[in-house]
Amino acid sequence: MRKTAIALLSTSALLAPQAVFAADMARPVYKAPPAPVVAVYNWTGFYLGGNIGWGWTDGSADIASTGLRGSIFGSGDGFLGGIQGGYNWQNGPWVVGVELDFQGSTGDGDVRGLGNRVVFNAETPWFGTLRGRLGYAAWDRTLLYATGGALYGKSEFSGNVAGFGPFSSSETYWTWTVGGGVEWAVADRWTAKLEYLYAGSPSDVPDIPRVAIIDGSTDTHMVRAGLNYRF
């Protein structure tokens, strides 16, 4: 009887570690699945697109005519639309780029002065810009940017000067422009943007018969919406 008890105790002692080990093996170890890899949008590369918008201008100038001196005032507005293209370089969240655009415009306005002795219509049939851009990709697929550079275009005057009669003249010009905007990556290769530009006074204006422009200035504002395709 004593031998039987000793044998049972010995068997239990041998089986106990195996039972504990088996219990441990029965508990599977689960690992958390790896986090999904989120693709970071990259703004680097060439792009080409189009835009539409609206522009408006206010201006004034001191003039002299046949011994008289006074001022002329005018304002105008109109639709604009065109194409743009450029290139972006991205370094971290910062994006540096250059952009060139060309616009057609319906912008025109009336200008009067010297007690309506000088009355004419001013038009800008086309213009374009060459600008640098500095942006910050604040939310990966959203780019906030500032922009500035040169604006070139054509002005046309047509009207009447008292004592001279009707006239028509035109001139190409340069000036500066600054602004800013926001651009969204709406798809892998498509981006949409909303942009504001301010343009300074033109370097040259069309001739007005018998009238000398002594000093003048204009303030031009533009708001444009655009769509770009990235290559």
Domains of the chain: residue spans and CATH: 45-230 (2.40.160.20)
| pTM value surpassing 0.85 | no
- Bridge partner list, 222: 55, 197
Show pLDDT as tens, one digit a residue, over the chain (231 residues). 444 443 433 444 433 444 444 445 556 555 656 655 445 799 999 999 999 999 999 999 999 987 789 999 999 999 999 999 999 999 999 999 999 999 999 999 999 998 899 999 999 999 999 999 999 998 889 999 999 999 999 999 999 999 889 999 999 999 999 999 999 999 989 999 999 999 999 999 999 999 999 889 999 999 999 999 999
pLDDT score, position 140: 83
